[in-house]
Amino acid sequence: MTSSGSARNRRDILWYFGPLTLLIYLVIPEALLDIPSTYMLKDQLHATATEVSVFRLLIGVPIYLGFVFGMIRDLWNPLKLRDRGFLLLFAPLTAAIYLVIAFGHVGYMELLIGMTAAFLSSRLFVAAYQGLIALVGQEALMSGRLSTLWNTLYFVPLVAATVAGGFISEHMTPRETFVMAAGLTLLVGAFGLWKPSAVFSHTYDNPLARGSNMMGDIKRLFRHRAIYPAVLINFLWYFQPGINTPMQFHLTNVLHASDAVYADFLGIYWANYVPTIILYGFLCTRMPLRKLLWWSTLIGIPQMIPLAFIHSGNEALLIAVPMGLMSGLANATFYDLAMRSCPAGLQGTFMMLIAAVYALALRGGDVLGTWIYSSSENGFVNCVIASVILFALIVPLIPWIPKAVTATADGEAAPALDAALASEGGA
């Protein structure tokens, strides 16, 4: 990390990434169009449950291969504008794909091909955003505060898109839905016209932004020791066998709660991430990341244990409050770790790899949890135990993180990390 970032106007950086974060995570197809597209399949195209699940699996493949789009971001300079070029090119392209779907014949295959194309196109402006926020976080020595911003604002469009999805499905035609999505996505492209100096002034001239060629960058990526504990920690944190399908079935089938209780549980759980995420934004400037890693991990490990003792849906809703509070700090800490762990010039590649790890962990954890849940009468309790064990496995990984990555608080110069990056050929 470079001391040159200390002169930046941090307020302008936060004002730039704040609305951009909200907008991107609202308009990406897996958010805004997830529920409407599946209802189109079910209600208008009369698709079976299997066809809907296969549809979701196939259109999500670009997410699992996100590091490929990150590598494209790190190597390509579209319109000679770097990340702004990706916003200017691929947000309008994604909008155009939505319009083709809107005004074309919509069958199962047409919707599958169209949505897959939208996922492919949107990954490129998401990669530009992810790479840029990590790069600026490293250079301006504010990865912790940008992690706080990202984690806080990620959940707002997530909840909004979920709520809006049901309304859209009931009140808008498929054509109107995709036209609306196209219009919102064009707003992302408008950010490519905005060039605040606090974000873009000499950003790509600094050593942390410099890569080499594809083979050289791939070698540097695998040689960069910091990526391995960061990837494993994030994978273990999001690989939660009990929180998704098993929790849903346990509430409805065993505790006889209504279907709405599970959605309410998730809403309360996610909402209570926010206070401790904001707390992280305060703590990260006052103590080194290593100390926060230990605290947040130890606080987060037992978060799911009370779920093993609930006897009603109302008790689950009460438990969701402390669970969310215990999770938020770790969410912000582990995302901060990921940003600090990026190799020079490979911020897009690594952050998109982290996004892919998140998606794979979420899906894999749900599959494992469903198997555990179905395997015995005490299946849900076993899911809780498995989750706690997986969280606890983060503890032995913390000492494996290179000390240079975690030695400083947010805003402090990190000459040891600069030296480590230079020694690996990144600067």
Q: State how far the Cα of 177 lies from the Cα of 28, in Å rounded to an integer.
A: 14
Task: Check if the beta carbon of residue 274 is closer than 8 Å to that of residue 155.
Answer: yes
Render pLDDT for 375-386 as a digit per residue (tens, 0 to 9): 888 889 999 999
Is the per-residue pLDDT at 2 higher than 50?
Answer: no
Which stretch of 303-312, 339-348, 408-417 has the lowest confidence by average pLDDT?
408-417
Is the per-residue pLDDT at 5 higher than 70?
Answer: no
- Confidence band of 163 (pLDDT split at 50, 70, 90): low
Q: State how far the Cα of 356 lies from the Cα of 354, in Å rounded to an integer.
A: 5
* Domain residue ranges in the chain: 3-210, 221-422
Render pLDDT for 351-363 as a digit per residue (tens, 0 to 9): 999 999 998 998 8
Render pLDDT for 108-160 as a digit per residue (tens, 0 to 9): 999 999 999 999 999 999 999 999 999 999 999 999 999 999 999 887 777 77
State the pLDDT at residue 187: 96
State the pLDDT at residue 196: 93
Structure tokens at 105: 């014949």
- Confidence band of 3 (pLDDT split at 50, 70, 90): very low
State what percent of residues in the chain have pLDDT above 90: 60
221-422 matches 3-210 in CATH topology: yes
Give the residue with greater pLDDT, 60 vs 337: 337
State the pLDDT at residue 271: 85
* Inter-CA distances, 423 with 218, 417, 426, Å: 16, 10, 7
Render pLDDT for 290-327 as a digit per residue (tens, 0 to 9): 999 999 999 999 999 999 999 999 999 999 999 999 99
Which stretch of 167-176, 181-190, 343-352, 365-374 has the lowest confidence by average pLDDT?
167-176
Q: What's the CATH code, domain 3-210?
A: 1.20.1250.20
Rounded to the nearest 5°, which phi and psi values hold at 343?
-70, 155
Is the per-residue pLDDT at 426 higher than 50?
Answer: no
Average pLDDT for 236-245: 88
- The residue whose two tokens read 């215990």 is 326
Average pLDDT for 90-99: 97
- Write out the DSSP string of 157-200: HHHHHHHHHHHHHHHS-HHHHHHHHHHHHHHHHHGGG---HHHH
* Rg from Cα positions in the chain: 21
- Number of C-alpha atoms within 13 angstroms, CB side, residue 383? 33
| Start-end of H helices in 307-378 | 313-340, 347-375
Residues 122-147 as b or e (16 or more Cβ within 10 Å = b):
bbbbbbbbbbbbbbbbbbbbbbbbbb
- The residue whose two tokens read 């873009």 is 200
Distance of CA 23 to the CA centre of its chain: 14
Burial of 193 (0-12, 13-18, 19+ CB in 10 A): exposed
Q: What's the CATH code, domain 221-422?
A: 1.20.1250.20
Average pLDDT for 56-83: 92
Task: Check if the beta carbon of residue 2 is closer than 8 Å to that of residue 208.
Answer: yes
State the pLDDT at residue 246: 86
Please report, as a single letter, which amino acid is at residue 262.
Answer: Y
Task: Check if the beta carbon of residue 332 is closer than 8 Å to that of residue 281.
Answer: yes
* Inter-CA distances, 212 with 74, 91, 129, 418, 421, Å: 9, 27, 21, 17, 14
Structure tokens at 141: 């020595």
